[in-house]
Chains A and B, each alone.
Chain A
Amino acid sequence: MAQLVLKNVFKSYDNNGKHKQNTPYAVNDLSFRCEDGEFVGILGPSGCGKSTTLRMIAGLEKITAGDILIGDVRINDLLPKDRNIGLAFEDYALYPPLTVFDNLAFNLRARKVPEAAIKEAIQRIAPLLKVDDLLHMKPQALSGGQKQRVNIARAIVRKPGLLLLDEPLSHLDGKMRQQLRFEIKRMHHEIKCTTIIVTHDQLEAMSLADRIAIMDMGVLQQIGTPLSVYDDPANVFVAGFIGEPPMNLLPAIIQKTAGGYCFTFQNSTLRIPVPTRYDEVLHNDMRVTLGVRPVDVVIDPDSELSTAIPVAVFENLGDERRVGVRVGENLLSLTTTDAIYYERGDIVKLRFQSEKTHLFDATTGVRIRSRHITVPRF
C-alpha cells in the first residue's frame, strides 16, 4: 500500500520509422500523484501514451526523463520484480499447465513464501473475485471472465503496493464486463490497494475510478473526479471525449444584440443567447467553440432572443427522447426524459442551461471561463 508519484516523466522511442508518431514524445511531461488506496483511471484514445505510462510504472519500459516514486522510493532504476507491483494485462497470460491455485501461488512460491501462508493468502483473495470454486481447475476450462478474475487475483495475492490493470475488460462481452466491473470495484473497496487502470472506454473509467487522468498525444489533459471532468472539462478534447451521447461542439460566432450576446453560426440563421455570466469575457464577432451537452439544451418557446429552427431528427428511445437540429453542417442534439413528441420539420426554440454551457477558444481549444476562478485541485 503506497502512494505513487510521477514527476515530469518523458518517454521517447528510438524512431527509426517503426513507430509512426505525431509528437516527438510518446509521453510528454507527465506529472500526477495517486494517493494511498486511491483508484485512478488513465483514459485516452489509442496511441495517447496511456499504456506506455503504465509500462513505465511497471518497469517494462525505460523512462527517458523524470522520476517515478512509490511511497518515498525512487523506482526509476529498479527491476520490475523489485517494485512490488501487481500487474494484470488485457490478455490473461495464465500458465496453462497449472491449476488456478498453482497459478495464484506461483509468484509467492517463487519468493519462497511458506505454503501455509500461501494457502491463507489465496483463501483470503479468492472469494473477493469469486474464484474460490475454480481453484482446482486448469485455465483452459475457464471462461474469459473467469480467466480475467484469476488473472487479477494473481496480481493482488502477493499484496502489491500498487496494482496496475491494463484494459482488463476489453476482451469480455457486455454482461460479463459489467459484472467484473462490480467485482473489481468491490475488491478495491475491500483491500484498498492503490490501483491504476488503463482503458480507452470512458464508461469503464468513470464507473471504476475515484479520479480519471485523461491523456491525448502523450500529454495529460485533465485529471479529476468523474463528475468534475464531465461537468468542468479543461479543453475541447476532454469535453468531446467524456460523455455519452457526446457533447455538442459547434463553431460559433458571438454577436451583440439589443438583448445581450448571442451565439450565431456559419450557414445558419440560428441564434441562441449566451448565458450572461460570460458577458465580461466576450466581444462582438468573437469566434469560439460552443460546448453543451445534449441534456443541457432545452426547448423553450419563451426564449426571446432565440430564433426558431426546424427539427431535423426526432428519436423516441423509450428512456428518453432526442431532438436534433441542423446548424450549418453540424447537428445540434438534445435529449430529454420529458414526454414530448415532435415531427421532422416542427419548429422549436432552444436555450442552453446557463451553468452547463462551455466556451472554448476556437483555435487552441482551451476553455474560456466566465470569471476568474481558481480551479479546484483535485
Chain B
Amino acid sequence: MMANDQSQPLASGNLRFRQGTAALSWIGRNLALVCFAVFALFPILWMVTCTLKSDAEMYTTVFNFTPTLSNYRAVLIGTDYFKAFLQNIVVAGGAVLLTIAVGVPAAYGLARYNFKKKEDIAFTILSFKFAPEILVILPVFLIFQKIGLYDTYFGLIWVYQLITMPLLIWVLRGYFEDISVEIEQAAQLDGYRWYEVFWKILLPLIKPGLVASGLLAFIFAWNSFTFPLILSGFKIQTITITSLRYIASDSVHYGHVAVAATVAITPEIIAALFIQKHLVRGLSFGAVKG
C-alpha cells in the first residue's frame, strides 16, 4: 500500500510528460506525411496545369497564366485520341481478364499440388517480370509478323500476359496456401461440388488479393509502352503511343502531351482511389488472417 502511494505522483508525472511527447510526435509525423504528399502529388499538379497553358506560357515556372481549354479541344476533338483510349481499354481489360482466367487456376495448382519442378516453374513465371521487355521484343516481333498476330488485339493481349500474369500468380498462390485444404474438404463434405466450393468458399477468401493484383495487372497493361510501340501499327493504337504523336521532330506540343497523359492516368487514379483499401490489404495480408 505504501509503495502504491509513493508511486502515484511519480506515475502521473510520467504521464504528463508522456502526453507532451505524444503531441509533439503527432505533429512531427503529420508534418512529414504532408511533405511527402506534396512531393508525391506535385508532378500530377504540374501536369494538370500544363494542360491549361498555351504553348507560349509553357516554359514559365510560376503558377500565373491565362487558363485555356484549347489543348483539350485540340487533342480530344481534333484527333483520334478517343479511339486510342477505347482500344487501350479493350487491350488492357482483355489482358486482365485473360490473366485472371488463366492465373487463378495456375496459382491454385502451384499452391495445392506437388509435382516435379514445381518451384522451377513458379520461378520461371516470376522471372518474366524481371526481364526488360526490350530483351524479347525483337523475336516476338518477328514471330508475330510470321503468324499474323502483328497489330491485332489478340496479339497484344497475349503478349501482355508477360507483364500482367506473374504478379497475380504469385500473390494468389500465397492466398491459396494460406487457406487450409481442410476448409475445401469440409465444404466438399457439406455437399458442395468443386465449382461451388470455388465460388462460395475460395473466391471470397482470395478476393482482396484478386482485386489488388488484378488492379495492378490492369495498370501494368495500361501503361505498357514498349510492346504496343513495336507490336502494333496503325490499326491498334494505345494511348501511350498516341501521346507520343504530339512530339514531332520540328515542334513539341507539351500542352497536347499533357492532356493526353492526364486523360490516360484518370482511370488509373479513379481505380486506385476506389480500391486503395483493398490494394494495401490485399498485397500485405494473407487470406485467413486470424
| A residues lining the B interface (CB < 8 Å) | 7-8, 10, 12, 14, 16, 24, 29, 31, 64-66
Within 1-40 of B, Cβ neighbours of A (below 8 Å) are at 2-4, 6-7, 10-11, 14, 18, 22
Q: How far, in Å, is B125 (CB) from chain A's closest CB?
A: 34
Known: A8-B3, A29-B3, A29-B4. A65 touches B10 (CB 8 A): yes
Identify the 7 closest CB pairs spanning chains A and B, nearest first. Answer: A8-B3, A65-B7, A10-B7, A29-B3, A29-B4, A65-B10, A14-B18
Could you list 9 further interchain pairs (A-B, Cβ under 8 angstroms) beyond the known A8-B2, A31-B3? Answer: A8-B7, A10-B11, A12-B14, A14-B18, A29-B3, A29-B4, A64-B7, A64-B11, A65-B10
- Tell me if B22 and A16 are in contact (CB < 8 A): yes
Instruction: State how many angstroms separate the Cβ of B109 from the closest Cβ of chain A.
Output: 35
Across-interface contacts of A14 in B (CB, < 8 A): 18
Interface residues on B, range: 10 to 19
C-alpha gap A10/B22 in the complex (Å): 22
Set of chain A residues within 8 Å of B14, measured between Cβ atoms: 12
Contact present for B18 and A65 (CB under 8 Å): no
B residues lining the A interface (CB < 8 Å): 2-4, 6-7, 10-11, 14, 18, 22
State how many angstroms separate the Cβ of A62 from the closest Cβ of chain B: 12
25 sampled A-B residue pairs with Cβ under 8 A = A7-B3, A8-B2, A8-B3, A8-B4, A8-B7, A10-B3, A10-B7, A10-B11, A12-B11, A12-B14, A14-B18, A16-B22, A24-B11, A29-B3, A29-B4, A31-B3, A64-B7, A64-B11, A65-B3, A65-B6, A65-B7, A65-B10, A65-B11, A66-B3, A66-B7
Contacts of A7 in B (CB 8 A): 3
Q: Which B residues are CB-close (under 8 A) to A31?
A: 3
Chain A binding surface, main DSSP class? strand
Q: Which residues of B contact A10 (CB under 8 A)?
A: 3, 7, 11
CB distance from A333 to the nearest CB of B (A): 32
A12 to B12, CA, bound (A): 12
**Whole-angstrom distance from the CB of A147 to the nearest CB of chain B?**
30
| Interfacial chain A residues near B2, Cβ < 8 Å | 8
Quote the shortest CB–CB distance from A15 to chain B (angstroms).
9
Q: Smallest Cβ distance from B252 to chain A, in angstroms? A: 53
- Return the chain B residue nearest A15 by Cβ: B18
Minimum CB–CB distance for A5 against chain B, Å: 14
A28 nearest CB across to chain B (Å): 9
Cα A3 to Cα B4 with chains together (Å)? 25
CB neighbours of B18 from chain A (8 A): 14
Give the docked Cα–Cα distance between A358 and B20 (Å). 50
**Please, which residue of chain B has its CB at the minimum distance from the CB of A7?**
B3
Docked complex Cα distance between A64 and B13 (Å): 12
User: Which residues of A lie under 8 Å from residue B3 when comparing CB positions?
Assistant: 7-8, 10, 29, 31, 65-66
| Residues of chain B with a CB closer than 8 A to A66's CB | 3, 7
CA–CA, A10 and B14, complex, Å: 14
**In the complex, A14 Cα to B22 Cα: how many Å?**
10
* From B7, B10, B14, B18, residue with most partner A Cβ within 10 Å: B7
Provide the residues of chain A in CB contact with B11, threshold 8 Å: 10, 12, 24, 64-65
Closest residue of A by beta carbon distance from B22:
A16
Taking the closest CB of chain A, its distance from the CB of B20, in whole angstroms, is 13
In the assembled complex, the Cα of A8 lies from the Cα of B4 at a distance in Å of 8
A369 nearest CB across to chain B (Å)? 22
Complex CA gap A12/B18 in Å reads 12
Q: Which residues of A contact B4 (CB under 8 A)?
A: 8, 29
CB distance from B146 to the nearest CB of A (A): 56
From residue A32, how far is it (CB to closest CB) to chain B in Å? Answer: 13
What separation, in Å, do the CA atoms of A31 and B185 have in the docked complex? 53
Contacts of A24 in B (CB 8 A): 11
* Set of chain B residues within 8 Å of A12, measured between Cβ atoms: 11, 14
Most A C-beta atoms less than 10 A away, residue of B3, B4, B10, B14: B3
Docked complex Cα distance between A16 and B21 (Å): 11
Complex CA distance for A10 and B11, rounded to whole angstroms = 10
Chain B nearest CB from A64 CB (Å) reads 8
Q: How far is the CB of A99 from chain B (nearest CB, A)?
A: 34
Q: Which residues of A contact B7 (CB under 8 A)?
A: 8, 10, 64-66
Q: How far is the CA of A64 from the CA of B11 in the complex (A)?
A: 8
Report Cα–Cα, A14/B2, bound state, in Å: 24
Bound Cα distance from A66 to B14, whole angstroms: 15
> In the complex, A106→B253 CA distance in Å?
73
- A49: min CB distance to chain B, Å: 16
CB distance from A16 to the nearest CB of B (A): 7
Alpha-carbon separation in the docked complex, A221 to B216 (Å):
55
Of all chain A residues, the one with the shortest Cβ separation from B1 is A29
With the chains together, A320 CA to B145 CA distance in Å?
84
Alpha-carbon separation in the docked complex, A371 to B220 (Å): 80
In chain B, what residue has the closest Cβ to A12?
B11
Min distance, Cβ A25 to any Cβ of chain B, angstroms = 9
> Complex formed: what's the CA distance from A16 to B22 in Å?
9
- Closest A-chain residue to B8, C-beta based? A65
Q: How close is B290's CB to chain A, nearest CB, in angstroms?
A: 16
Q: Which residue of B lies closest to A66 (CB)?
A: B3
Expressed in whole angstroms, the Cα–Cα distance for A186 and B14 within the complex equals: 46
Residue numbers in A under 8 Å from B10 (CB-CB): 65
Complex alpha-carbon distance, A61 and B6, angstroms: 21
B18: nearest chain-A partner, CB-CB: A14
* Cα–Cα distance between A96 and B2 once the two chains are bound (Å): 49
In whole Å, how far is A340's beta carbon from the nearest beta carbon of chain B?
Answer: 40
CB nearest to B11 among chain A residues: A12
The distance from the CB of A111 to the nearest CB of chain B, in whole angstroms, is 36
**CA of A29 to CA of B2 in the docked complex: distance in angstroms?**
10
Q: Which of chain A's residues have a CB closer than 8 A to the CB of B22?
A: 16
User: Which chain B residues border A8 with CB–CB below 8 Å?
Assistant: 2-4, 7
**Shortest Cβ distance from B3 into A: residue:** A8
Please name all residues of chain B whose beta carbon is closer than 8 Å to the beta carbon of A65 when the two chains form the complex.
3, 6-7, 10-11
